[in-house]
Structure 1
Amino acid sequence: MLIAQVTDIHLGFDPGNPAELNRQRLDQVLGALIDGPNRPDLLLATGDLTDHGDLESYRALAEAFAQCPFPVWPCMGNHDDRDNFAAIFPHVPQEGGFVHYVVPLDHRRIIILDTLETGRHGGAFCDARAAWLAARLDEDAETPTLIVMHHPPVEVGIDWMNTHPEEPWVQRFSAVIADRPNITALVCGHLHRTITAPWMGMAVAICSSTAPQLALDLRPMDPDTPDNRPMIIADAPAYALHRWTDAGLVTHFETAGDHTTLAKFDAAMQPLVRMLMDERPA
């Protein structure tokens, strides 16, 4: 199974502009997924779908996703609004006031979580959400399960966007998923950078954004002393492809747009390809 991921779209950052940069960047990524060689079985859209959570931006997002010939499963980020989202995406399940739900697959399943807390930039995972997740994990302790959420529960070293491991929501979430061997991996967004990390014995795959990305600067940051470091950069819009097999999840990160080809599979490269493939066990 091939699962694509886009995240941190921030549609509507430039309100009222149908040609806004973030829409152009999203369309670039969707074009690569639809017309490229790696068309996925489904697409995860992992939060911050819009920048202001407004109805107009969700309408534009629905229009963009309508071109996809595969199902799209979204989750909430800190820039999103559940009510406005539900008005435009009524088919996406909500339960108990949260956009969390299970996507059943062939011998696998995906659990989409809601880590939005209105007015807070960082993640949230209250007792109600913890009880819901515990119930979903208890009802099926065997099927390989991928957990999808906007906010990563890991500390990554970018000071101004870090998650502290002792934040209450992280402690609550980690208690629910402890000793659940059928959880294959966590897939997240939020950080606008490609990052992988081990956490609680599993892999966390954090996808970079379709919108502009965070600059990589691991130096400590003093909030009282601006130092003119770059914070947001305009690298190419990005996405992830998660190849989910019986062996686990293998994640590839890619950018949309043109790539300069230095070699291709032609007669000149055929001997190398044959040699490499012949080295493998039959």
Structure 2
Amino acid sequence: MLIAQVTDIHLGFEPDNPDEFNRKRLDEVLHALNHGPNRPDLLLATGDLTERGDADSYRRLADAFSQCEFPVWPCMGNHDDRANFAAHFPHIPQEEGFVQYVIPLEGRRIVVLDTLEPDRHGGAFCERRAEWLTARLDEDIATPTLIVMHHPPVEVGIDWMNTHPQEPWVQRFAAVVAGRSNVQAILCGHIHRAIAAPWNGTTIAICSSTAPQLALDLRPMDPETPDDRPMIVADLPAFALHRWTEHGLISHFETTGDHDALARFDASMQPLVRALIGERPA
């Protein structure tokens, strides 16, 4: 199974611009997924779908996703609004007022969480959400499972976007997933960079954004002393492709745009290809 992931779309950053930069970047990614060599079986959109959570941005987002030739499954980020989202994505389940649900698949499943808390930039995972996730994980302790959420529960090293491991929501989430050997990975967004990290017996894979990305600067940051460091950079729009096999999840991170081909599979490369594949067991 091939799962695509986009995140941090921030549609509506320029609300009155029909040629909005962030919409163009999203369209580039969706075109690559629809027409490139790696068409996915489904697409996960992992939060910050819009910039302001306004109804018109969700309308435009639904229009963008309508071009997809595969199912699209979104979740909430800190820039989103549940009510406005639901008005334009009524087919996406909500449980107890949260956009959280299970995507059943043949021999696998994906559990989508809602880590939005209005007026808070960082993540949230309250007792009600913990009870819901506990129930979903308890009802099937064997099927290989992915958890999908916007906020990563791990400290990534970019000071102004870090999540502290002692935050109450992180501790609550960690307690729910502890010892769940069938949770094969946790897919997140929020950081606007591609990052992979071990965490509590599983792996966290963070997808970079379709919107502009965070600059990679791992130095500490003093909020009282501006130092003119870059914070946001306009690298190419990015996405992830997660190949889910019987051995687990293999994550690839890609960007749009033209990639200069320095070699192609032609007659000159055929001997190398034959040799490499010939080394493998039959």
- In the superposition, the TM-score normalised over structure 1's length comes to 1.00
SS at match of 2:273: helix
Q: Which residue of 1 aligns with 2:52?
A: 52
Query: Displacement of 1:77 after TM fit?
Result: 0.1
Q: Which residue of 2 aligns with 1:142?
A: 142
Query: Displacement of 1:17 after TM fit?
Result: 1.0
Please list every run of 5 or more consecutive structure 1 residues that lacks an aligned counterpart in the other structure.
none
Deviations 1:205-240 (A, max 9, x none): 000000000000000000000000000000000000
Q: Which residue of 2 aligns with 1:214?
A: 214
Query: Displacement of 1:257 after TM fit?
Result: 1.2
- Give the whole-Å Cα distance in 2 for the aligned partners of 1:192 and 1:238: 9
- Give the whole-Å Cα distance in 2 for the aligned partners of 1:170 and 1:62: 31
Q: Which residue of 2 aligns with 1:153?
A: 153
Tell me if 1:274 matches 2:282.
Answer: no
SS at match of 1:160: helix
User: Which amino acid letter does the alignment assign opposite residue 67 of structure 1?
Assistant: Q
Q: Which residue of 2 aligns with 1:67?
A: 67
- Give the whole-Å Cα distance in 1 for the aligned partners of 2:119 and 2:23: 25
Deviations 1:115-174 (A, max 9, x none): 000000000000000000000001111110000000000001100000000000000000
Q: Which residue of 1 aligns with 2:202?
A: 202
Q: Which residue of 1 aligns with 2:5?
A: 5
- Give the whole-Å Cα distance in 2 for the aligned partners of 1:17 and 1:184: 41
Q: Which residue of 2 aligns with 1:187?
A: 187
Q: Which residue of 2 aligns with 1:92?
A: 92
How much identity, in percent, do the aligned residues show?
76
Query: Displacement of 1:276 after TM fit?
Result: 0.4
SS at match of 2:84: helix
Tell me if 1:226 matches 2:234.
Answer: no
Deviations 1:234-256 (A, max 9, x none): 00000000000010000000001
Query: Displacement of 1:201 after TM fit?
Result: 1.2
- Give the whole-Å Cα distance in 2 for the aligned partners of 1:182 and 1:280: 29
- Give the whole-Å Cα distance in 1 for the aligned partners of 2:139 and 2:67: 35
Q: Which residue of 2 aligns with 1:256?
A: 256
- Give the whole-Å Cα distance in 2 for the aligned partners of 1:202 and 1:94: 26
User: Which amino acid letter does the alignment assign opposite residue 111 of structure 1?
Assistant: V
User: For this pair of structures, how many residues does the alignment match?
Assistant: 282
- Give the whole-Å Cα distance in 2 for the aligned partners of 1:89 and 1:257: 29
Tell me if 1:238 matches 2:238.
Answer: yes
- Give the whole-Å Cα distance in 2 for the aligned partners of 1:255 and 1:39: 15
Deviations 1:66-87 (A, max 9, x none): 0001000000000000000000
SS at match of 2:114: coil
Deviations 1:21-46 (A, max 9, x none): 00000000000000000000000000
SS at match of 2:242: strand
SS at match of 2:10: coil
Kindly report the root-mean-square deviation, in angstroms, between the aligned alpha carbons of the 2 structures: 0.4
Q: Which residue of 2 aligns with 1:167?
A: 167
Query: Displacement of 1:16 after TM fit?
Result: 1.6
- Give the whole-Å Cα distance in 2 for the aligned partners of 1:191 and 1:208: 7
User: Which amino acid letter does the alignment assign opposite residue 126 of structure 2?
Assistant: C
Query: Displacement of 1:54 after TM fit?
Result: 0.4
User: Which amino acid letter does the alignment assign opposite residue 219 of structure 1?
Assistant: R
User: Which amino acid letter does the alignment assign opposite residue 57 of structure 1?
Assistant: S
Q: Which residue of 2 aligns with 1:14?
A: 14
Q: Which residue of 2 aligns with 1:113?
A: 113
Q: Which residue of 2 aligns with 1:30?
A: 30
